[in-house]
Amino acid sequence: MLSVQGAAQNKKDNTQFRRNYIIDEVVVTGTRNETDVRHLPMTISVVGRQQIEKRYEPSLLPLLTEQVPGLFTTSRGIMGYGVSTGAAGGMSLRGVGGSPTAGLLVLIDGHPQYMGLMGHPIADAYQSMMTERVEVLRGPASVLYGSNAMGGVVNIVTRKQQEEGVNTNMQVGYGSYNTLQTEFANRVKKGRFSSIVTGSYNQTDGHRPDMEFEQYGGYAKLGYEINSFWKLWGDVNANYSWLYMENPVLAAPGHKLYAGADYSSGCWSVSTGLQYVKGLYTSVTKGREQQEDFVLWNLRGNYRVCRFASLFVKGENLLAQRYEINAGYSMPKATFMGGINLNF
C-alpha cells in the first residue's frame, strides 16, 4: 500500500512539473487582463526593456515615435516635450490627437494620467529608466477606457526589482549645443517591500537664439505585498504607417517608415535606425498649408567596460536634414552625445 501511494504521489508531481510552460509575450492593455498578444482582436505594439536600453534616450517619446507604427510625437527643440505649444509639442496616433491631445489616453501601470494642460499627455517625467515596457493599443478603445481613448491607449509599465537587494542605474551624457542629460533610477526589494525612485536633470543652450532650456523630472513608486555575458546576436525591425487625412492635421505625417537594426558581440553593441517622414503638415492654415518631407538617421554604440559600467555614444539626424515640424521653428541638424552608464 505504501509503495502504491508513493507511486501515485510521484506521478502527481511529474504532472505538475510538466505544466510549467514558457509563455509568449503577455500584455494587459488590450483587455485589462493578462493576455497572449497573439490572441488579441486589436492592434498592439509592445516596446520592451531591451529596446529601451539600447536607445539611450531619457524620454520615452523619441523611442515610441520610432518603434510604434502610426504614432508621431513632436518636440519643441533639441530636447524637451509637451509643455510648450509654440515650437511643437504634440502627439498623434493614426491622425487622432495633436496639441492638446484629447483622444489618446496614457496609463501608468493601468492608472489614467490626465495631462490636458500640456501639449500631450506623456509628461517629461516619464523617463526611460522607470519603464519596463510600453504597450500601445492602436485604434479606438473607448469601450474599455472611455472617451479619452478614441485614438488609442499608451500603457507605461514600470520596472520592478525581482530579487532581494538594491539596484541603482545612473546615466550622464553631454553633447551638441552644450546639452547635458542626466538620469538615475534606484530599485529596492526587501521582503514584502519594494520601491522605485527615478530622477532626471536636462539642460541645453538650444540650436536657436534665446531658447535655453532646463528641465527637472522625477517619479517614485512604493509597494508592499500583503499576502551570459558573451553572446552574439542580431535583430532587425521595421514598420510603416500611412494616414489619409480629409482635412490636414498639424504635425501628423501622411507616411512614416522606420527600419532599424541591432548588433551585439561580447562587450560591444551597435544599433541604428532610419526614419522617413513624408507629407508632415507644419501649417494647416486654410489656403496656406505647408508640408515637409525628411529622413532621419540615428546611430548608437555601447561598450561594456566592466560588470557595472558601460560607455555609450549616439548621433541623431546624421544626414543633417533641414526640416520643421511647426512652420517657423527649425529643428537641429546633426547632434552628438557620449556618456557613461553605471549599474550597481
**Angstrom distances, CA of residue 228 to CA of 167, 339, 342:** 19, 24, 19
* pLDDT score of 125 more than 80: no
pLDDT in tens, 95-110: 676 555 556 777 877 7
Between 299 and 215, whose confidence is greater?
299
pLDDT in tens, 274-302: 888 888 888 888 888 888 899 999 998 98
* DSSP codes of every residue in 103-154: SEEEEETTEEE--TTSSSSS-TT-BGGGEEEEEEEES--HHHH-GGGSSEEE
Assign 87 to helix, strand or coil: coil
Distance separating alpha carbons of residues 202 and 173, to the nearest angstrom: 10
pTM across the whole model: 0.59
Q: Which contiguous run of DSSP H or E holds residue 259?
A: strand 255-265
Domains of the chain: 26-342 (2.40.170.20)
Residue type, 188: V
